[in-house]
Chains A and B, each alone.
Chain A
């Protein structure tokens, strides 16, 4: 999944396909290969110094709590995590973490920052291409405004180091998502998480049928949602067959279709499906659909009724990205319960705390704390703060296909790390420092380590603590 970055040129004539000519295949020029990475990441980590945090309480993101823990960061990577016995690299900055907590950076699997930025005016509203229910051709990254002030709040107040920016849910196929490092840049490319696979936003339920049904178009019903989605997958399968044949045998190049390129990527397992879906019965339909057409769903987003089918989600290896306590704002959220996250966890599933909100993204740790408290009170066994941290970094990294790179404090992973000034499951706690790839991107004690967006320069409150 992670080798997407190797495609270099805009359109590459592949030497490999020359074999076809040697084998006496169809005449003509070698097949054209579609560049799968035409807007490549230009993100490069910022300089950091070797850093050792000692005497802190560490949640490693894999369910483990280390008291009097030590975390060693160097060359942008986690070098070691353990107890006081760990030695420091030469010249390392030593930080006394006594009374403080260290965790992996929080990963929000569901954000619209940059696509629905602040200020929330029509001119900047770029999250839903609500002109057709099938829009897999749009890419969220092409809407991302890197100067959205919300990024800085998510960093400084929320300890968020990585986010998936998704198109909205007006469409059955909303378009491609993009995974960003929460490091300010001049361009969206400058924030793109290197090597992260693309995602495809899909939606079921109320939104598509409301947006299009109200205009007298399909879909107007949930059965219309499913029918149109299936019909689109049938087209995608056909497109895939044509292109695979062409890439194997050469001949006339099939027509290129941006929308179908994305769906083909899903069918090939290169692009991960992030499916907005609230109700249990609809999630079950989408699971069957994924089997019908041969793709996998990485995560159901919102998944308000995940608790009703937690066993089904676990059996199919599908994550649930959920809120702690959002409820009732629409019919498909009517059956929300506060134990949704811990119940999905308890069934052996992959539970994620997500925000879908520029304010909520600043408090994901507190949302996890609420869900944890509710789970413990409901008698869910073996819950702890260290275990619940999996909902904030490990599981979202898994859903995004980047768990081999970040999401836990395992040695060799990117040093995306938060030092909290207390227990992050307390509402009285704030991030004190945040490192991304080992570079100190936020320091509560240093106003020069606080990003200020272009938009906020010269405005009232510029550079305030926010």
Chain B
């Protein structure tokens, strides 16, 4: 009993203010696609990365030095597509699941009020090295699911890194189902929604940001809250023949203007090409493909479009008619012709198993040794679960790598992080060391020794 308490005290770390520290001696992987560096150093000050790499570094005065010899050091894992923080329990547990709304609104939905940073899934994934997540709402009655956010998994009450960062829309099989029973119907709904948004657009302030492939940190598109915009004012007139509520139409104005990313879920090759074609019709859309299981069959066209892809890593079954050509080589083949690919958990236990991303990334490395398959290098595999998802939504300058100036989200691992047998030993978010204790670890410690002391029931072991 005494032993357990001692262990708990050691592992209970109260989030403190960001410190100045250096992690030295570990195998450092930057998360930018480069290969790991033996004996590297990472220097952190005021919650940001000062420097990282294998070169000799002068440590800031007063820096705490963390010995990572024998360990691996990487940026925190970024969940490329998730419902993290939205569901405590997925089935038959009233009040515990906020993933899907089926009320009157769709595009206007903003996932932020549904995110609970104290959700146990946040802690479980934090304890496994996941530090940030793209969080999308689930589509309810409409093809538009609503606006997703980027969150951190820190043990504090301020999870939102970027609210309303993207709109999420279904334009594959799910889109067909939600959009009237046919893809044709879904596409008309989509175009009509943008038409209704265009009607409201004239009441908004002009867009000043210039468009580039990867905006610099300073020019990151700032998505103003559409729910508070002037487009909801009394002067904002609308046509008679509208389908969307004013709120929903207003929410699509930033999408139409390219101020908010549009994540589009499509798996089938022909669905993917329809998404690419939207570019011609709506040139200002900042599209990101989500899913893309058959992407490899049209990879060169995706590459030419420049549209990034957040893909499922290893789905290889014809689980639905929209993914007959699914193969674990999908990611590697798209990447090989220049598609910008990140890994996400698309409809794959997206509320809670984000920690599987690193296992899946390792599986893509395994394909390099498999005749006929196309894998990715280790460095690229890590990038696909760190910097690539951040870059897909224009946040590569903020999170996802150990480049100087990035937020200091880093993990010290017991070994190669792409091996499932390795564990996160220390996790930092914005330079703050995080507790790794969870409901699970507490239960583990309670039941480690059976039947245990019988002078009191297990309920007294805490």
Taking a contact as CB atoms under 8 Å apart, the answer to whether A459 and B89 are in contact is no
Report which residue of B351, B369, B420, B450 has the largest number of chain A beta carbons within 10 angstroms of its beta carbon: B420
CA distance A157 to B329 in the complex (A): 13
B320's contact among A120, A338, A422, by CB below 8 Å, is which?
Answer: A120
Which among B362, B372, B458 has the highest number of chain A CB atoms within 10 Å?
Answer: B372
- Residue B317 interfacial (CB < 8 Å): yes
Instruction: Indicate the member of A120, A334, A421, A460 with the most B CB atoms within 10 Å.
Output: A460
Say whether B262 faces chain A, with CB atoms less than 8 Å apart: no
Indicate if the CB atoms of B318 and A338 lie closer than 8 Å: no
B444:A339 contact, CB within 8 angstroms? yes
Q: Is B339 an interface residue (CB 8 A)?
A: no
CB pair B316–A157 under 8 Å, yes or no, is yes
Confirm or deny: B418 has a beta carbon within 8 angstroms of a beta carbon on chain A: yes
Residues A465 and B325 in contact, CB atoms below 8 Å apart:
no
The answer on a CB contact under 8 Å between B91 and A359 is no
Asked whether any CB of chain B lies closer than 8 Å to the CB of A37, the reply is no
Contact B319 A120 (CB under 8 A): yes
Report the separation of the CA atoms of residues A426 and B359 in the bound assembly, to the nearest whole angstrom: 10
Bound complex: CA A379 to CA B444 (Å): 11
A460 CB to closest chain B CB, in angstroms? 4
Contact with B along A412-436 (1 / 0, CB 8 A): 0000000001100111111000000
Interface 9-residue window, one of A223-231, A244-252, A268-276, A306-314: A306-314
Interface status of B373 (Cβ within 8 A of chain A) = yes
Minimum CB–CB distance from A313 to chain B (whole Å) comes to: 10
Contact A444 B370 (CB under 8 A): yes
Shortest distance from the beta carbon of A386 to any chain B beta carbon, whole Å: 15
**Cα–Cα distance between A459 and B320 once the two chains are bound (Å):** 13
A328 and B88 in contact (CB under 8 A), knowing A369-B420, A378-B444, A460-B325? yes
A455 and B89: CB pair below 8 A?
A: no
Q: Is B285 an interface residue (CB 8 A)?
A: no
Q: B321, A121: Cβ atoms under 8 Å?
A: yes
Mark contacts of B328-370 with chain A using CB atoms, 8 A cut-off: 1 yes-contact digit, 0 otherwise.
Answer: 1100000000000000000011011101000100110111011
Cα-based distance from A336 to B421 in the complex (angstroms)? 18
Whether B369 contacts A428 by the Cβ 8 Å rule is yes
Q: How far is the CB of B425 from chain A (nearest CB, A)?
A: 10
Question: With A337-B443, A460-B297 as given contacts, are A153 and B316 in contact (CB-CB < 8 Å)?
Answer: yes
A328 touches B319 (CB 8 A): no
User: Contact check: which of B120, B318, B443, B444 meets A459 at CB < 8 Å?
Assistant: B318
Contact A426 B317 (CB under 8 A): no
* Contact A358:B317 (CB < 8 A) given known A334-B89, A428-B365: yes
The answer, among B324, B362, B373, B444, for a CB contact under 8 Å with A428, is: B362
A119, B321: Cβ atoms closer than 8 Å: yes
A426 engages B124 (CB within 8 Å)? no
- Contact check, B366 vs A430: say whether CB atoms are below 8 A apart: yes
Interface majority SS on A: helix, strand, loop or mixed? loop
Q: Is A23 an interface residue (CB 8 A)?
A: no
Instruction: Assess the A461–B317 pair: CB atoms within 8 A.
Output: no
Interface contact tally, CB-CB below 8 A = 170
Q: Is B102 an interface residue (CB 8 A)?
A: no
Contacting residues, chain A, for B369 (C-beta < 8 A): 421-422, 428, 430
Contact between A338 and B440 (Cβ–Cβ < 8 Å)?
A: yes
Cβ contact within 8 Å between A337 and B444: yes
Taking CB atoms, residues of chain B closer than 8 Å to A149 are: 317-318
Select from chain B the residue with minimum beta-carbon distance to A443: B371
Min CB distance A355 to B, Å, is 13
Is A372 on the interface with B (CB-CB < 8 A)? yes
Q: Which of A310, A329, A430 contacts B90 (CB 8 A)?
A: A329
Which single member of A307, A310, A460 contacts B294 (CB below 8 Å)? A460
Contact between chains at A428 and B366 (CB < 8 Å): yes
Q: Is A366 an interface residue, CB under 8 A from the partner?
A: yes
User: In the assembled complex, which residues on chain B have CB atoms less than 8 Å from the CB atom of A367?
Assistant: 420
How close is B179's CB to chain A, nearest CB, in angstroms? 19
Which A residues lie within 8 Å of B326 (CB)?
461, 466
A377 within 8 A of B: yes
Name A431's closest neighbour in chain B (CB-CB): B370
Known contacts A359-B314, A460-B294; is-contact A329 B319 (Cβ 8 Å): no
* A431 CB, min distance to chain B CBs, angstroms: 10
In Å, the complex CA distance between A459 and B327 comes to: 13
Question: Is the CB–CB distance between B327 and A465 below 8 Å?
Answer: yes
- What 0/1 readout, one digit per residue, does chain A (75-97) give for beta carbons within 8 Å of chain B? 00000000000000000000000
Establish whether residues B371 and A444, one from each chain, have CB atoms under 8 Å apart when the complex forms.
yes
B440, A336: Cβ atoms closer than 8 Å: yes
Query: Chain A contacts of B458 at CB under 8 A?
Result: 308
B89 engages A330 (CB within 8 Å):
yes
Contacts of B327 in A (CB 8 A): 461, 464-466
Min CB gap A380→B, angstroms: 9
- CB–CB B448/A343 < 8 A: yes
Bound state CA distance, A395 and B440, in angstroms? 26
Residues of A close to B362: CB separation below 8 A: 427-428
Q: Which residues of B contact A374 (CB under 8 A)?
A: 423
Answer whether residue A451 sits at the interface, using C-beta atoms and an 8 A cutoff.
no
* Complex Cα gap A372–B421 (Å): 7
Does B249 interact with chain A (Cβ within 8 Å)?
no
In the complex formed, the residue of B with least CB distance to A329 is B90
Shortest CB distance B269–A (Å): 7
- Chain A 115-154, CB within 8 Å of chain B: the 1/0 string? 0001111000000000000000000000000000110010
Q: Are A373's CB and B90's CB within 8 A?
A: no
B176 CB to nearest chain A CB (Å):
14
Are A427 and B317 in contact (CB-based, < 8 A)? Answer: no
Q: Given A465-B327, A465-B373, A466-B328, A330 and B317 touching (CB < 8 A)? A: no
Interface core residue of A153, A311, A328, A377 (most chain B CB under 10 Å)? A328
Alpha-carbon distance between A360 and B88 when the two chains are bound, in angstroms: 22
Say which residue of B319, B418, B421 sits within 8 Å of A370 (CB atoms).
Answer: B421
> Which A-chain residue is minimally distant from B441 (CB atoms)?
A337
Contacts of A13 in B (CB 8 A): none
| Contact B421 A461, beta carbon cutoff 8 Å | no
Complex alpha-carbon distance, A444 and B92, angstroms: 43
Interface residues of A in 433-455 (CB under 8 A from B): 444-445, 447, 455
| Known A327-B124, A377-B423: A465·B370 in contact at CB below 8 Å | yes
Counting CB contacts under 8 A, is B227 at the interface?
Answer: no
Indicate if A49 sits at the interface (CB-CB under 8 A).
no
Which residues of chain B in 362-397 are interfacial with respect to chain A, using CB atoms and an 8 Å cutoff?
362-363, 365-367, 369-373
Residues of chain A contacted by B420 (CB below 8 angstroms): 324, 366-367, 369-370, 373, 427
Judged by a CB distance under 8 angstroms, whether A387 is at the interface is: no
- Asked if B35 is an interface residue, CB under 8 A from chain A, the answer is no
- Interface status of A335 (Cβ within 8 A of chain B): yes
Residues of B close to A308: CB separation below 8 A:
447, 450, 458
**Does B41 sit at the interface, judged by CB under 8 A?**
no
A421 CA / B93 CA spacing, docked (Å): 44
**A426 vs B422: C-alpha distance in the bound complex, in angstroms?**
10
In the assembled complex, the CB of B258 is this many whole angstroms from the nearest CB of chain A, namely: 33
Which residue in chain B gives the minimum CB-CB distance to A338? B440
> Given A428-B365, A447-B372, A465-B327, does the pair A331, B93 have CB atoms closer than 8 Å?
yes
How far is A347 from B317 in the complex, measured between Cα atoms in Å?
37
Known A-B contacts A425-B421, A427-B362, A459-B325; the reply to A328 vs B352 at CB < 8 A is yes
Of B92, B318, B321, B359, which contacts A427 at CB under 8 A?
A: B359
Add 12 more A-B contacts to A120-B319, A373-B422, A465-B328 (CB < 8 A): A150-B317, A327-B352, A329-B91, A330-B92, A331-B93, A359-B317, A369-B421, A373-B420, A373-B421, A377-B414, A378-B448, A427-B359
**Selected A-B contacts with CB under 8 Å, 17 pairs:** A119-B320, A120-B320, A210-B92, A311-B450, A327-B440, A329-B351, A337-B444, A338-B444, A359-B315, A370-B421, A379-B448, A422-B369, A427-B365, A428-B418, A460-B297, A464-B325, A465-B373
Binding site for B on A (CB under 8 A): 118-121, 149-150, 153, 157, 206, 210, 307-311, 324-331, 334-339, 343, 347, 358-359, 362-363, 366-367, 369-370, 372-374, 377-379, 421-422, 425-430, 444-445, 447, 455-456, 459-461, 464-466
Top-6 shortest CB links A-B: A373-B421, A427-B362, A461-B325, A460-B325, A330-B91, A370-B420
